[in-house]
Structure 1
Amino acid sequence: MLHEEECHCEWCNTELKIIGKEEVRQEVEFIPAHLKVRKIMRYAYECPTCKKDGADVIVKAPTPAPVIPRSLASASSVAWLMHQKFELSIPFYRQEKEWENYGIVLSRATMANWVITASNLWLKPIYDLLHKQLLQSRAIHVDETTMQVLKEPNKPATSKSYMWLYQSSKDASEQMALYHYKPTRAGENARKFLEGYHGFMHCDGYEGYNKVTDVTRVGCWAHLRRKFNDGIPKNSTKTKSQSEVGKDFCDELFEVEREIAYLSPEERLNLRKEKATPILNRFWNWVEQTNALKNSILGKALQYAKNQKVYLMNYLEDGECQLSNNLAERSIRPFVVGRKAWNFSTSTKGATASGVVYSLIQTAKLNGLDPYKYLNYLFEELPDTPFKEYPELLQALLPWSTEVQENCK
């Protein structure tokens, strides 16, 4: 708009009037976050009639249960610091400075305690219910990656610990990804977590997965493809190397999967058998007939294929099975990115809580939810939900429930 001194005609000095407007551009304005202190008040009521008769009848209104007893924590503040650390990979020492700019001293030790306490009280029951439902899945994907925990019993601070991932298949009606901290990579960890599961388990060639019994193990062709790819000469040659031939076989199988990806599991299985079987027959014949030095890259790739053949072929058993375990590798990546930012967990309690929070965040994403809104919703609802007496009430708080879908998008 014109300044007041410019709102007069330059010829006759008459005051100018607005006759229209047009949009010139749009700009995004940033409004910094700020904190508010919310006081929880409880009203007391008395009966005036009984008071006149000499009797005191006083009733106090119920108060909402806190997210963390005897603390300043609110549903939104705990959800926000979890969102920042476990979704945006902002470590607590950087959040500490940000909270100070907002006007409150919140130490990283306090933040860690909030995460552990809120996770144990409210998120773990949801996590355990998701775990039970995962064990009913037809097919799952499993992977693991390293992490560091400073204060672990009988282990030096520099030793490796592990975060395991268990995820439902992409065809499952209820999508979930569960992270589970354990001090070692022993296959016994996967066996205990998957006790009672009898479906298809996608994983890499790690022998520890053989500890998981009563499952059909499905191998990963992406791992095999990488092994062949590593053996391809860097300098181009006129003739294809044997490693490139092996990679091409894998590429043919992946092309078949791209063609049938949007079909139902039943239709997918029929076409997979029809189109992939001839490729597989040619591939295994080539594997048997190809000679290579045992310790060469090609030799190791061929031996890996022979050792994993039974598992690699199991994806032909069910349409919900996948050619690779890439689904789990993609889901474990957010944890790997976060690990680079915060480097380590101080205690086993913190590592366990991290796994639970990552699980709720990633599961929220898989179900189309805003993770911060979902965490905030859980912290608002669960403290006043008697789920210990009535466990069935937790069903309404799972990511795919109607109420959650309506409130947490």
Structure 2
Amino acid sequence: MNLPIDLDSLSPDQLRALAGQLITEVQVKDREVSERDRELHYRQTRIDQLSHEIAILKRQQFGRRSEQLNSEQMSLLEEAIDGDIAAIEMELEQLKPSPAERQREQPKRTPLPPQLPRTDIHHEPVSTACHCGCERVRIGEDISEKLDYAPGVFTVERHIRGKWVCRKCETLIQTPVPAHVIDKGIPTAGLLASVLVSKYADHLPLYRQAQIFSRAGLAIPRSTLGAWVGMCGVQLQPLVDALRHEILQQRVLHADETPVQMLSPGKGKTHRAYLWAYTSTQFSDLRGVVYDFADSRAGAHARAFLEGWRGKLVCDNYGGYKASFQQGVIEIGCAAHARRKFFELHANHSSQVAGHALPFFSALYDIERDAAELNVDERYRLRQSRAKPVYDALHEWLTTQRKLVCDGSGIANALDYSLKRWEALTRYLDDGSVPIDNNWVENQIRPWAIGRANWMFAGSLRAGQRAAAIMSLLRSAQLNGHDPHTYLKDILTRLPTHKACAITDLLPHRWQNSQAC
């Protein structure tokens, strides 16, 4: 402990010595502060460098890749990227200040689900005797959990059918085997559901599934798996047709399309086919989506699917829908597409004019968030009172700006997109059951975009149509909160003996699990 010093009692030499000591201590402190500042500056600089590097790697990992890379090269690239990201994340963790420096609590890891089976592995000392000769006493324990996985295991159902005969009349009876989706085949409904869900929901091609099955102890040829998928597709088609019929009973629908490569028969090359998606809105009681696979983007495919339907169709500005609008279908524009035109100009070219449009759209979407939980009438009144004035102001701004820009410029095209489609864009204001944009159906197309990275192309038009049918059921099941494997296993079990007149009972939005009854 430093005692107070009486400066008056010190001699001049002692005062000079004390002053020199204090100056030395101050210089040491200054050097420590300077060193700490340099360390903090280095850490922050290095963190910024690594953050930039990891951002580039993630763009390579998730962004568009060069088409010149083959599958083996792409696999090696992905392995390298994964390793680099892991290394950078570890280095970033090491550069972070210590808990004492941060002086804040670290976020806790989310506990593993309690329903998962657990195996206890005990780690105890070989001897509990202390070096002093006493016996140690256990006073507690620390527990850490790690997640493990065991490959799937095949089991066999033995259907034993007893033969019963009357000794007097020699009459023999035997209970028949329950009907199966694949008559006289070896797969259960559960195995078929696993194959279909893995292929169409988890995007695992059949050759990968065959490898997984082989590791599990049973090699199933890919041709056999393909045959099972084809037969299931045929059996499930009436259910998909029933779902399409119910979707077309809705007065408001979304529609969108996305390209899918399809192998041209006999040519060994692919050409661009299209996957069309039709779905009810998020405001509808019916949650379902139907995919339609076609070999082109021709509007005739949309007209064929919507034949006889008269309602409000939320879509983008693709011309393939225009003919339907002349046949009684009412066009609903997409505010997200209109906003995107301005956002891209502002983000990519720093357009100030485009930037001025974005607050209008932000205000409209803030209103929609407030309207999401309201009923149809309340949503209509809210839009009339709050959204309509915003649209009026937006229209006045669009008209004024259009007079100031040159034809053919990017901002002119963005302005024209909204002005030419103004009536379609504002129709949602007059109907509380109509959404503001087409984002709902774009979310339903996303599984196909993910799948393209795995299976690359559809093998044929029939294969694409089969995929569209099965994915319609799986995605609709997910929209209704069902586990797709549980749903598909149950309907594949019931379908062979289910009455055709009651097929709608098996649709995802009406389905009741027979195994849970």
Q: TM-score, normalised by structure 1?
A: 0.87
The answer to whether residue 426 in structure 2 is matched with residue 313 in structure 1 is yes
Instruction: Give the SS at the match of 2:270.
Output: coil
The answer to whether residue 292 in structure 2 is matched with residue 183 in structure 1 is no
Instruction: Give the SS at the match of 1:310.
Output: helix
The answer to whether residue 500 in structure 2 is matched with residue 399 in structure 1 is no
Match of 2:372 among 261, 279, 282: 261
Instruction: Give the SS at the match of 2:275.
Output: strand
Match of 1:361 among 457, 474, 479: 474
Distance, in Å, in 2 between the alignment partners of 1:372 and 1:94 is: 18
Distance, in Å, in 2 between the alignment partners of 1:284 and 1:369 is: 43
Contact 1:116–1:349 under 8 Å retained in 2: no
The answer to whether residue 209 in structure 2 is matched with residue 95 in structure 1 is yes
Instruction: State the identity as a percent.
Output: 30
Distance, in Å, in 2 between the alignment partners of 1:363 and 1:92 is: 23
Question: Deviation per CA, 1:105-147, whole angstroms, max 9, x where unpaired?
Answer: 22333323222210111x2121111111111112111110011
Stretches of structure 1 lacking an aligned partner (at least 5 in a row)? 52-56
**CA drift at 1:406:** 7.5
**CA drift at 1:73:** 2.4
Contact 2:294–2:301 under 8 Å retained in 1: yes
The answer to whether residue 165 in structure 2 is matched with residue 36 in structure 1 is no
Query: Partner of 2:188 in structure 1?
Result: 74
Stretches of structure 2 lacking an aligned partner (at least 5 in a row)? 1-121
Distance, in Å, in 1 between the alignment partners of 2:199 and 2:123 is: 47
Instruction: Give the SS at the match of 2:177.
Output: coil
Read off the aligned partner of 2:212 and give its amino acid letter: E
Distance, in Å, in 1 between the alignment partners of 2:281 and 2:393 is: 29
Of Structure 1 and Structure 2, the greater helix share is in 2
Query: Partner of 1:162 in structure 2?
Result: 274
**CA drift at 1:405:** 8.8
**CA drift at 1:198:** 1.9
Query: Partner of 1:216 in structure 2?
Result: 330
Query: Partner of 2:344 in structure 1?
Result: 230
The answer to whether residue 438 in structure 2 is matched with residue 330 in structure 1 is no
Distance, in Å, in 1 between the alignment partners of 2:212 and 2:168 is: 54
The 5 A counterparts of 1:53-68 are 57-68=171-182
Distance verdict in 2 for CA 1:19–1:246, change over 3 Å: closer
Contact 2:490–2:514 under 8 Å retained in 1: no
Distance verdict in 2 for CA 1:9–1:43, change over 3 Å: farther
Read off the aligned partner of 1:194 and give its amino acid letter: L
The answer to whether residue 399 in structure 2 is matched with residue 285 in structure 1 is no
The 5 A counterparts of 1:129-140 are 129-140=242-253
After alignment, is 290-299 or 182-191 more displaced? 290-299
Question: Deviation per CA, 1:165-219, whole angstroms, max 9, x where unpaired?
Answer: 0111112112001111011111121111122322221100101111223222111
Match of 1:304 among 413, 417, 430: 417
**CA drift at 1:336:** 0.8
**CA drift at 1:149:** 1.7
Query: Partner of 2:108 in structure 1?
Result: none
**CA drift at 1:86:** 1.6
Distance, in Å, in 1 between the alignment partners of 2:139 and 2:358 is: 66
Distance, in Å, in 2 between the alignment partners of 1:107 and 1:38 is: 21
Query: Greater RCO between the two (CA within 8 Å, min separation 6)?
Result: 1
Contact 1:230–1:297 under 8 Å retained in 2: no
**Count of residue pairs brought into register by the alignment:** 392
The 5 A counterparts of 1:368-407 are 368-385=481-498, 387-388=499-500, 391-392=501-502, 394-401=503-510, 403-404=512-513, 407=516
The 5 A counterparts of 1:9-48 are 24-48=143-167
Task: Compute the RMSD of aligned alpha carbons.
Answer: 2.9
Distance, in Å, in 1 between the alignment partners of 2:133 and 2:393 is: 93
Q: TM-score, normalised by structure 2?
A: 0.70
Query: Partner of 2:98 in structure 1?
Result: none
- The structure number with the bigger radius of gyration is 2
Instruction: Give the SS at the match of 2:255.
Output: strand
Match of 1:107 among 221, 227, 243: 221
Query: Partner of 1:54 in structure 2?
Result: none
